[in-house]
Amino acid sequence: MNQPPTKLSRRTVFAGAGTVGAIAAAASLLPSVRDVAVAPVARPKAPEKGGGYSLSDHVKQYYQTTRI
C-alpha cells in the first residue's frame, strides 16, 4: 500500500488558487442578482378587428437604424 509521493508544483497551486478566487468572485455577485426584479410592461390592448401594428419604441429604433 505504498503510494508514490505526489508532486505538488507551483503551477498546480496557482491554478487551484485562481479557480478558488474565480468561484469566490462569482459567489459574491450572485446574491445581488437575485434582488433585481423586472417590472412587467403594460401593453396596449390589441384591436378587435385585426391589425395590431403599433409604433413601439422597438419599431422606432429599427427605423432609425435603416436611415442613411
- pLDDT score of 36: 58
60 located within any domain:
no
Contact assessment for residue 46 and residue 52, using Cβ atoms and an 8 Å cutoff: yes
Does a structural domain hold residue 57? no
For residue 32, what pLDDT is reported?
Answer: 59
Does 67 fall in a domain? no
Residues in contact with 52: Cβ distance below 8 Å, sequence separation at least 6, in sequence order: 46
Q: What is the DSSP letter of 35?
A: T
pLDDT tens-digit readout, 6-41: 777 888 888 889 999 998 888 887 765 555 567 788
End-to-end CA distance of the chain: 77
pLDDT of residue 9: 85
Cell output for 29: 455577485
On whether residue 43 sits in a domain, the answer given is no
46 contact partners, CB below 8 Å, separation of at least 6: 52
